[in-house]
Amino acid sequence: MNAQKPLAGQAALITGSTSGIGLALADALAGAGADIMLNGLGDADEIEKTRAGLAHEHGVKVLFHGANMTRPDEIADLVATTHKAFGRLDIAIPNAGIQHIAPIEDFPPEKWDAILAINLSSAFHIIRAGVPLMKAQGYGRIINMASTHALVASPFKSAYVAAKHGLAGLTKTVALEVAAHNITCNAICPGYVKTPLVEAQIGPTAKARGISEEDVVRDVLLAAQPTKAFVEYNQLAGLLLYLVSDAGASVNGAMLPVDGGWTAQ
């Protein structure tokens, strides 16, 4: 094995990897030598720049598939296309996610449906299509991007918290089903990471709570995070690289907090 590129020859699929955490994880896996299938929404020229940049920087194959995570047929095509392009599927990271913040009595039903589809059901569709491929090759690592909100709740996030708690159930169930096949299924549970998803919550949270945006960052977002610091991308990448290494082979069905102590309270 190449010590600098321990994942050389492996193929990784990360949903929602045109931005934020997914892009940072794609970069970390590419840096470790894996070929990458990117996915997500966004401006086509920007995505192409990202794709070409990753491939050039790390000397790996990087492809993009624009499957919408609300469309099971497109998700199945994403998995099949990844396997066809790389001949393998070693690492699958259902990561795409959206947020909407509103009191339960005002929560728009269409937002509930979209959050459940993108944050929970898309992981089911990725895993359902990916597991047979992983079983056939005798190896796989599934890492669901959950959240602290898979373990505890916050007000005004009913759909997000419900979806992430659902992802916890999916993670544990799949872990049991695949354990004897040299496949693991775990979830990373980050606290607050300063991504576009979080930056977009600051205004609506201020409105929902009737406080200023500065107060939201200090008293709402980081209030729960005892370190009083946002989680950094490299701290999530470090855990991911451990989970996909030989050393991580016995970690299975785990919900792994990276939250500065939030869920210790």
Point out the residues that are catalytic.
160
120 binds ligand NAD (CB under 6 A): no
Q: Quick one: 123 or 175, whose CB is closer to ligand NAD?
A: 123
Sign of CA dihedral 130, 19, 156, 258: positive
For residue 113, the tally of other CB atoms under 10 A from its CB is 13
166 binds ligand NAD (CB under 6 A): no
151 binds ligand NAD (CB under 6 A): no
Q: Quick one: 4 or 80, whose CB is closer to ligand NAD?
A: 80
31 binds ligand NAD (CB under 6 A): no
| Distance of alpha carbon 258 from alpha carbon 21, whole angstroms | 13
Annotate 149-202 with three-state secondary structure.
Answer: HHCCCCCCCHHHHHHHHHHHHHHHHHHHHHHHHCEEEEEEEECCECCHHHHHHH
Residues 6+ apart with CB under 8 A from 65: 37, 38, 39, 77, 78, 81, 82
158 binds ligand NAD (CB under 6 A): no
Which listed range, 4-12, 13-21, 76-84, 100-108, lies at the site for ligand NAD (CB under 6 A)? Answer: 13-21
Q: Quick one: 213 or 247, whose CB is closer to ligand NAD?
A: 213
42 binds ligand NAD (CB under 6 A): yes
Binding site for ligand NAD (CB under 6 A): 16-22, 40-42, 68-70, 95-98, 118-119, 145, 147, 190, 192-193, 195-198
